[in-house]
Amino acid sequence: MTERSSISRNPTPVISVQDITKVYGEGESALQAVDSVNFDIKPGTVVGILGPNGAGKTTLLKMILGLVSPTSGHVQFAETGETSDLLDRYHHVAAMLEGARNIYWRLTVRENLAFFASLNGIDPATVADHHEQLLEQFGLTEKADTPISALSRGMKQKASLICTLSRQTNVVFLDEPTLGLDIESSLELRREIRRLTETKSMTVVLSSHNMDLVEAICDRVIILHDGRIIEDSSVDELIDLFQTQSYRISTEPSLPDQLRTTLTEHYNAHSWTQTSDRIRFDVRLQSGNSFYDLMEILHQKDITILSVRSLEQNLSDAFLKLTDDAAPANPMQEDHR
Specify the domain boundaries for CATH 3.30.70.1140 within the chain: 244-312
Sequence-distant (≥ 6) Cβ neighbours of residue 336 within 8 angstroms? 58
pLDDT digits (tens, 9 = 90+) for 166-193: 888 889 999 988 888 888 888 888 888 8
Per-residue pLDDT at 46: 95
Question: How much is the average pLDDT of 23-39?
Answer: 92
- What percent of the chain has pLDDT above 90? 42
Specify the domain boundaries for CATH 3.40.50.300 within the chain: 15-92+169-240
Q: How far apart are CA 113 and CA 172, in angstroms?
A: 16
- Residue 271 burial (CB count, 10 A): 9
pLDDT digits (tens, 9 = 90+) for 227-252: 999 889 888 877 665 555 778 899 99
pLDDT digits (tens, 9 = 90+) for 45-54: 999 998 888 8
pLDDT digits (tens, 9 = 90+) for 95-114: 998 766 789 999 999 999 99
Domain 244-312: CATH class, spelled out: alpha beta
- What percent of the chain has pLDDT above 70? 82
Per-residue pLDDT at 22: 96
Per-residue pLDDT at 200: 83
Per-residue pLDDT at 325: 63
Q: CATH classification of 15-92+169-240, choosing from 3.10.450.50, 3.40.50.300, 3.20.20.120, 1.20.1050.140?
A: 3.40.50.300
The predicted model scores a pTM of: 0.70
pLDDT digits (tens, 9 = 90+) for 254-265: 889 999 999 998
Q: How far apart are CA 116 and CA 263, in angstroms?
A: 58
Q: How far apart are CA 114 and CA 1, in angstroms?
A: 37
